[in-house]
Amino acid sequence: MMDATGRPQSLLLLGGTSEIGLAVADAWAEQAPGLRVVLAARPGERRDAAAARLEGRGCRVEVHDFDALDDGAHVRVVEKARAGGDVDVAVVAYGVLGDPERAWQDPEEAGRIARTNYTAPVLSGVALAAMVRAQGHGVVVALSSVASERPRRSNFVYGSSKAGMDAFYTGLGEALRPLGGRVLVVRPGFVRSRMTEGLDAAPLAVGPDEVARAVVDGVAAGREQVWVPRPLRPVMSTLRHLPRPVFRRLPL
């Protein structure tokens, strides 16, 4: 159970090698010594390194094989995580940016992005909802994107997949609220990370640690949505309501 200050005692990372997900685990590990962390990720050096990093911070780490594109894996890995005790917070941390120009012309690339960023998170969300119902408590953190607010020409396949994910988890929050659960939808802007390596940083770019702090603060405060950084909220609200001919001329 979360303690009186809103700090979790157990954390499940779906996408256990995600830089943002690991930064979230680091942040809570500082606040909650002995934090139990379940890393759900594909086996390999990156998962091993992630487990060693968290163990070095005093976490009790469990690792489970998880491939988001395996439809049956979502229920299996959530049940395995819960077999070791209740999960206080689960972070849906996986996703892909993809090749924007290839994505709208190549069915294989479009399908990969859509399945990874929308279909798989929906399956994770359904599995996590069952967990929250059984436990009677739990927070689900969904890493969405500001791209979900208004898809742009430059990466609209990615943006559309995040828009679907964002809508699903926003609705899931309403469904779980009467059952003792909560959902926090996190909308970062440009995050300097492995995913965006080689790309020019957009204005108001942040690092994984800043997103992690927003997640930790948002969970502790019982928020349902956070923007990272916070000024992006009015910026995106303005962009969302711009007439299409004006929006089209912006260098986005």
CA distances from 207 to 52, 124, 193, 216, 229 (A): 22, 25, 7, 15, 10
- Burial string for 87-122 (b: 16+ CB within 10 Å, else e) reads bbbbbbbbbbbbbbeebeeeeebbebbbbbbbbbbb
Phi, psi of 49 (to 5 degrees): -65, -40
Phi, psi of 7 (to 5 degrees): -90, 130
Q: Is 158 a catalytic residue?
A: yes
Which pair of structure tokens corresponds to residue 76? 């299996």
Q: Which of 94, 118, 158, 169 is catalytic?
A: 158
- Among all chains, which residue has been given the structure tokens 């995580």? 81
Residue 97 to residue 157: CA distance in whole angstroms: 9
Which pair of structure tokens corresponds to residue 121? 């998170």
- Burial string for 33-51 (b: 16+ CB within 10 Å, else e) reads eebbbbbbbeeeeebeebb
Query: What are the residue numbers of the active site?
Result: 158
